[in-house]
Amino acid sequence: QQQQQQQQPQKGASGGKARAAAAAASGGMARSSVKKEGHNDARVIYVTSEDTNKEFKFKGNSISTGKYNPLTFFPKGLYEQFRRVANQYFLSVGIISLFESISPIKPYTIWSPLVLVVGLSMAKEAVEDYERHRQDHQQNISMTERFNGTSMSACEWREVVSGDLVRVVRDQSFPADIVLLASSLEDSVCYVETKNLDGETNLKIKRGVEGMDKVGTGGAAALKAMTAERSCYVECENPNNSLYTFTGNLDVSGAFNSDSVSVGGGKSASASAGGGATKISLVPSNVLLRGSCLRNTEWVIGIAIYTGHDSKVMMNSSAAPSKRSTIERGMDRIVFGMLCLLGLMSTATACVCGLWIKNTSPRVWYLDTAAADMVFDPTATVTVGFVSFLTSYVLYGYLIPISLYVSLEFVKVIQAMVFLNLDRQMYHAETDTPMRARTSNLNEELGMVHTVLSDKTGTLTCNSMEFFKCSIAGTSYGEGVTEIERSIAKRGGKPLPASAPAASSAAIEPGFNFKDVRLEGTKWMSLPDAEAVRDFFRVLAVCHTVIPEGEATPETICYQAESPDESAFVVAAKRFGYFFKRRTTSGVDVVEPVFEPGGGGGAMRTKEVHYEVLNILEFNSTRKRMSAIVRTPEGKIELYCKGADSIIYERLAYGVQKYTDHTQVHMDDYASSGLRTLCLAKRELSEAQYAEWNKTYTAAAQSLEKRDEKIEATAEIIEKELILLGATAIEDKLQDGVPQCIEQLMRAGIAVWVLTGDKQDTAINIGQACSLLRDDMELVVVNINDLVKQESDREITREEFDRLGRASVKKQLEEGSAKCDVADTADIDVGLVIDGRSLSFALEPDLARIFLSLGSGCTSVVCCRVSPLQKALVTGLVKDSGRITLAIGDGANDVGMIQAAHIGVGISGQEGMQAVMASDFAFAQFRFLERLLLVHGRYSYKRIARMVTYFFYKNLAFGLTLFLYNLHTRASGQVVYNDLLMSSYNVFLVCLPVLALGCLDQDVNQRSSLQFPSLYRQGQTNECFRLRVQLGWAANAVYVGCMSFFVVFYLIHGGEADSSDGHCFGLWEVGTTLYTGIVITVNLQMAQMINYWTWVHHVTIWGSVAIWFVLNISQSNLYGFLSTYSYMIFQPTVMPTAKYWMSIPLVVFMGLLPDLLNRGFRRLFVPEEHFAVQEFERMGRGKRKGSIGGGRGGGGGGDDRG
């Protein structure tokens, strides 16, 4: 909506008369009454080359987008890291570990992994922030020119201040937000590329302030006059983030009052009777925004008004909404649960220790606890219990996986940067557009989507518009059959009309695919309604904001348009003989045929004429129309209007229309063929009517407060009593692969909602063409067309319409829900179609629940005639129901929907890059969504879910052995493992295999993921991360920890001799046996989980086991102060002992057996779908006699959840 406002070439600005009147109306306001910067509503910038504006304390032009600076990096970075609960816990443990009387382990065993994890995260932050600072510095030292009081001199961007006169040359970017005064082109216009702002590469036209062209041609004298002591100033709104709006005035009353420098090269400047003040209204088309680039113009001069962080682009640089995946939120709950478990275990240990010290220790005379310090003082039981709690709090810290967050971040980055971004099957060669994951936080969420909400134009369709048919004066013109009609006929097995061509022919010219001999050459002039036809063509040629480029001939000219529709209309006008040749400040030049009613069929004689454009009333999504008030070559003032049929029809003059019924029938026919329709109308105005209206319009344009609302209200006054001319029909072809993609998504259990601005018939037919609505579906249609017509015909009031409409929508929704229940019983899919007026009622709080219930029960939903706001509201409604939503769109009107959804996907299309810049993932074609979800999304979900559950499994199993041994020693705090080896557990011994799992594992291959889309349903129901699975992993960890401890301590080393010489293992030898069993069991548990073996898995699993033995050997041979309790333990004592090597397989086998039996039982007796697919793949590999083809994945036969 707002985008349109910036791009209008005259954006509410009028021609010479209107501008003069606007200036006159604003004169007389004394500068002494101007508010300064502190005022809430406006700021004042004096044009100067000195420090006149210093008192206002405007921000400088240097920018910094970094999060940190050298002073704040460590405090702020540490704060960011310790916002995580797990890091806070380990910090507290690290602090307690500094007190040797309390901590059972050395401080370095806690601080080393903590520093490593936090250091890696902060290093990543530092690298990213350095890059931001580097880019900022490059921008700050970019060169431009500013007036120094005598001439233009070169300066860096950071030296520019508000009020400076700045000159920018061709292909340079604007250093600040600048009010354009003059340019090298005629009428002080310039061309601007806003790719860095909104991603659009089409050029926008900007216009210099009316009457200020002498600034460019008057040399240093004119510039000195403007920068004289407070002689010229800009009064404008305070800095804000609206890129496409601006209100302000330029006061030059004190600048050009001498004969040597006149305003506007002789054009009269408006002056008030009171004081000769000259004030000129400023509009958005006068403002050049920082970040945009000057094109096709040699130079411009303007006033810097907003600098640095006050500029609009910088005020729009706020972070996108923070999105977290379902698994990440579930992971936080698990961490909290583990902390609670740690607290319970520590409390239990404290109670055991306190009671034993009080009741039992005095009888154990050899401990002499009576002489002990406070740690074991029998007379201070509470103190003993508290110290024991702190000791256990430190000791049981291995329950919390400190490396989980870093490991997850690493895996997600690999998934996004390597597997997603480098997937050639999602690369679009025609536009050279690869897949882009703009965030890695939501990879696994892609595997859990319930509902896809999609825009239509540019998302399902190509957004490559072609003028295909039209209705003029009640007669339909145009031949051919659309692709939508062909697709519907093919799916229904119906024959095409006999006159239909064999295939949809290529466009005659880009944007034009119209054929009808009745409108060729001058034949249309012999038609009975030739004058209406001429006016129809004039509306196409004049009522637009297109910018012509290149040589001004019909064959070579290139049109830069805001949208493909606009371009198609201008190209159509050219093909019909009305060649839009040139745009000037005052209007447009058109080469058109000499109109000779009744004389059609002869050679076409043309003439170049000028249409003076008096006003442009711009299009936006609220108005749904655009108007141009022009003075025709015949001297008449006419209003040309084009817009949606519902908007135009309610503004038609009553009782004088000739073609409304026929035109409506034609538009319905066009809509049923999948064409986009637009109505064209005109109104002739008298000089008096226009002059009176223009006064109101000028006052609205001068207003600094609510200017847009006032202009819109003024437009409502003039845009009425219209005469209908006809309607256009534009074809927007479906993208390749859309029907197949939607069909696959629906087979995967994903509901597809299409939110479009099209009419109901158009939307239904396109839905049928792209497999969204099928013949075997039960279709529920909700609309209130009859009530809309009654309101339009003034048969009912607005209040009655609201009351009756609300009741009708509620009744239809309830009937639809009942029909949906019946269809569900009969296993029939249901489709819902609802129009925009009905949707406005359905989104009200009283009906939203019913609407959501009905929509949730449907396989597909089509919402017609929806606004961008309604798109976001519908998305939010579905999201709040708990269903994972994915919104996909290509235009600025889809940004709200994309940001409201759990996952936003942007299409790099014809409508710029705003949707892409607001998205989480981006690619070029809708069909890539199938692969994104069914392959990458499914893989990422299963990998991350299994990775997280495995992390807690391995830490719980290890932590329980510490807990059990601590209880075994009556909660004394004695550890059973070497400190250094304990700190290596999460970093070296069990971390690498889980990274390989998270990056590479596949339960089935990619081909099977697409061939069997129902596999995707596991993610929708969260099968791999639901509470039952988490508890299963916890139970397995408890079993492994308890079994390992009791088998090692009471079975293997139960007191008998451990070696042939009668030697018994001591604490550290037994601890080595226990640790070895845990390490190998946990790593081989990972081996049981793997479905897709690669050399990376072998290296990480067997390498981790090897690292364990290497660490023990090195610890055994290091000096005592380095190896501590491990000195001469493993190599000389444990390794030569046969009992050690014989016991380890027993511990490992017993640890893996329950999980192995569980997997086998489920595969044999309660198989899941992916088990069957794995068998299918195995059979296929057998038939290919060992050929690996595409079926390497899925060979392990493991269970994804296990």
DSSP annotation of 1032 reads: H
Orientation of helix 404-414 relative to helix 992-1000, angle to 10°: 30
What is the β-pairing status of strands 625-631 and 152-156?
Answer: unpaired
Which is the catalytic residue, given 164, 213, 455, 758?
Answer: 455
Non-local (6+) Cβ contacts of 631 within 8 A are 15, 587, 611, 612, 614, 637
Non-local (6+) Cβ contacts of 225 within 8 A are 218, 231, 232, 255, 256, 258, 261
Q: Are the C-beta atoms of residues 571 and 467 closer than 8 Å to each other?
A: yes
DSSP annotation of 1062 reads: S
DSSP annotation of 844 reads: S
In order of 661, 780, 1081, the CA distances from 789 in angstroms are 13, 21, 74
SS3 at position 641: strand
Tally the residues of the chain. Answer: 1202
- Give the other-Cβ count within 10 Å of 604's Cβ: 13
Q: Are the C-beta atoms of residues 642 and 607 closer than 8 Å to each other?
A: no
Six token digits for residue 346 = 């520590």
What is the β-pairing status of strands 299-306 and 579-583?
Answer: unpaired
The CA distance from 630 to 14, in Å, is 10
The CA distance from 584 to 586, in Å, is 5
Place of tokens 């478990």: 341
The CA distance from 615 to 587, in Å, is 10
The CA distance from 8 to 620, in Å, is 11
SS3 content of the chain, % helix, strand, coil (to 5): 50, 15, 35
Six token digits for residue 36 = 């300064």
What's the burial of 1185, exposed, middle or buried (CB within 10 Å: 0-12/13-18/19+)? exposed
Six token digits for residue 604 = 């076409």
The CA distance from 605 to 611, in Å, is 19
DSSP annotation of 1052 reads: I
What's the burial of 71, exposed, middle or buried (CB within 10 Å: 0-12/13-18/19+)? exposed
Six token digits for residue 537 = 């063509």
Six token digits for residue 1023 = 């099968």
The question of whether 455 is a catalytic residue gets the answer: yes
What are 680's strand-pairing partners? 642, 726
What is the β-pairing status of strands 279-282 and 248-251?
Answer: antiparallel
Q: Are the C-beta atoms of residues 465 and 730 closer than 8 Å to each other?
A: yes
Q: Which of 815, 855, 811 is nearest to 832 (CA)?
A: 855
* CA angle, residues 604, 606, 608, in degrees to nearest 5: 165
Convert 155-166 to b/e letters by CB count within 10 Å (16 or more is b): bebbbbbbbbbb
Q: Which of 200, 495, 360 is nearest to 969 (CA)?
A: 360
Q: What is the largest CA-CA distance in the chain?
A: 128
So which residues are the catalytic ones? 455
